[in-house]
Amino acid sequence: MATMGGPRRSSPGGGPGGGQGGPQGGKKKFFYRRKRVCKFCVEKLEYIDYKDVKMLQQFIPERGKILPRRISGTCALHQRKLQNAIKRARTAALIPFATD
């Protein structure tokens, strides 16, 4: 019977899976962020006004996309309300759909 391959070689990264530029032990260090709180829950806002363009633009980057919850920090309920308010503001031409 033949052997199943030759001797094992160590990977360049020092850890399992190889790769370059990792820490010496090959383990990733995780950076824990503090959980973001919903801005609307803190201010106890029930209604998100679509005419408040200054507030809505905080949740829209330059490209015109709506920021996701994990980045904006809003809760699911307020993210849905925010989404509807942004869409209404776009329809009323208060906010552009996209940049040129």
The domains of the chain, with CATH numbers, are 39-91 (4.10.640.10)
**Whole-number Å distance between alpha carbons of 75 and 45:** 12
pLDDT of residue 98: 84
Which pLDDT tens digit goes with each residue over 47-99? Answer: 999 999 999 999 999 898 999 999 999 999 999 999 999 999 999 999 988 87
Per the model's pLDDT, the better-predicted residue between 22 and 73 turns out to be 73
Mean pLDDT score, 28-53: 85
